[in-house]
Amino acid sequence: MPVPAPNLYPEFNIVRLSHVELVVRDLAASRAFYADTLGFQVTYEDSERLCFRGLEERGHHCIVLTKGDEPAAEVLGFKLYSAADLDRAYGFFSARGLPVSWVERPHQGRTLRTSDPFGVPLEFYCDMEKLPAIHQQYKLYRGVRPLRIDHFNCFSIDVDASVAFYNGLGFRVTEYTEDEETKKLWAAWMHRKGGVHDMAFTNGRGPRLHHVAFWVPTPLAIIDLLDLMSTTGYLANIERGPGRHGISNAFFLYVRDPDGHRVEIYCSDYLTVDPDLEPIKWDLKDPQRQTLWGAPAPKSWFEEGTHFTGVGIEEATLKAQPIVAP
């Protein structure tokens, strides 16, 4: 299936991805990881909930952690341009037979809760509580110095179908991996904000959250984090990297939080705002696709992910095999 032509005039306008809500078992352990080790700023905490923001973010949160018995992903959040876009989004999803409801969310204005056709829970809002700017308060910079949320990656049982749906939301494909034998998409990277991606899809059992990624100032911040994690009890939480992706050209590191949620630390991708930008195609068997330097990803990277609360998991329709580290 060919990559769809860019949809430059969707029915409603998404600014960017905004936040993720994850279920964790131990809020104290999660606080030590996200705040004390990675360096996110705590914006709210009580006995059941923790919120964080990055150092450049003015909105109240990019991460919400809620206490629960089993790790899971609750919802992926996106910011819209206006209240009118919220109403149009309600009409868009309801017209397609997808669940829609207005929900109360702390620190957010009117919020629409829905899902994509595959079960990924989504929420949309246009107003979030604003906090004072802190990006020049360098005394706060610690850990990996996380600046802002950058993208989601989800396992999809049918990447072609996922791309077609999100294309309808105005997401544009920047890069994609095609299986040469079937000519089907194995993975795709789609954006709204002008980076390489706000949303990506990887072929696999799903729907599941593969990872959430955060932008940091430089690759040296990633090296500093590796030194910190390897000497503070988090050595086993380092899953993959550091390295440079072929796709996106970004410098990366994948780590796992205390509940196994995968977090990517990310910087140095490229600008994609031109409406006529042509997507870059990659062969699934190209060793530089995963990592420009040729190092393949571990088996866990292709098999493990976070399930969405209350959403069933199915096998992928495409059985093509990527290069996997021994």
* DSSP per-residue codes, 38-49: I-PEEEEE-SSE
Fold equal for 14-130 and 143-307: yes
pLDDT tens-digit readout, 142-190: 999 999 999 999 999 999 999 999 999 999 999 999 999 999 999 999 9
Whether residue 27 is predicted with pLDDT greater than 90 in this model: the reply is: yes
Residues in Cβ contact with 222 at an 8 Å cutoff, skipping those fewer than 6 apart? 144, 216, 241, 242, 251, 252, 253, 265, 267
pLDDT tens-digit readout, 269-326: 999 999 999 999 999 999 999 999 999 999 999 999 999 999 999 999 999 988 898 7
Average pLDDT, rounded, for the chain: 97
Are the C-beta atoms of residues 134 and 54 closer than 8 Å to each other? no
Q: What's the whole-model pTM score?
A: 0.97
pLDDT tens-digit readout, 206-224: 999 999 999 999 999 999 9
- The reported pLDDT for the residue numbered 55 is 98
The ranges assigned to domains in the chain are 14-130, 143-307
Residue 193: other Cβ atoms inside 10 A: 17
Residue 60 pLDDT grade (very low, low, confident, very high; cuts 50, 70, 90): very high
- The reported pLDDT for the residue numbered 36 is 98
Residue 2 pLDDT grade (very low, low, confident, very high; cuts 50, 70, 90): confident
Q: How far is CA 220 from the centre of its chain?
A: 22
Domain 14-130: top CATH class: alpha beta
Nearest to 2 by CA among 163, 154, 153, 118: 163
Whether residue 5 is predicted with pLDDT greater than 80 in this model: the reply is: yes
pLDDT tens-digit readout, 115-126: 999 999 999 999
- The reported pLDDT for the residue numbered 1 is 64
pLDDT tens-digit readout, 73-83: 999 999 999 99
Whether residue 44 is predicted with pLDDT greater than 90 in this model: the reply is: yes
- The reported pLDDT for the residue numbered 133 is 98
Q: Just give the CATH number of 143-307.
A: 3.10.180.10
Tokens of 113: 């809760």
Three-class DSSP category at 179: strand
Tokens of 111: 């919020």
pLDDT tens-digit readout, 223-243: 999 999 999 999 999 999 999
Half-sphere exposure of 7 (CA within 13 A, CB side): 19
Residue 249 pLDDT grade (very low, low, confident, very high; cuts 50, 70, 90): very high
- Report how far residue 144's alpha carbon sits from residue 152's, in angstroms, rounded to the nearest whole number: 19
- What are the C-alpha distances in Å from 226 to residues 188, 215, 242? 28, 16, 9
- Report how far residue 175's alpha carbon sits from residue 288's, in angstroms, rounded to the nearest whole number: 14
Nearest to 35 by CA among 62, 67, 17, 75: 62
Whether residue 70 is predicted with pLDDT greater than 90 in this model: the reply is: yes
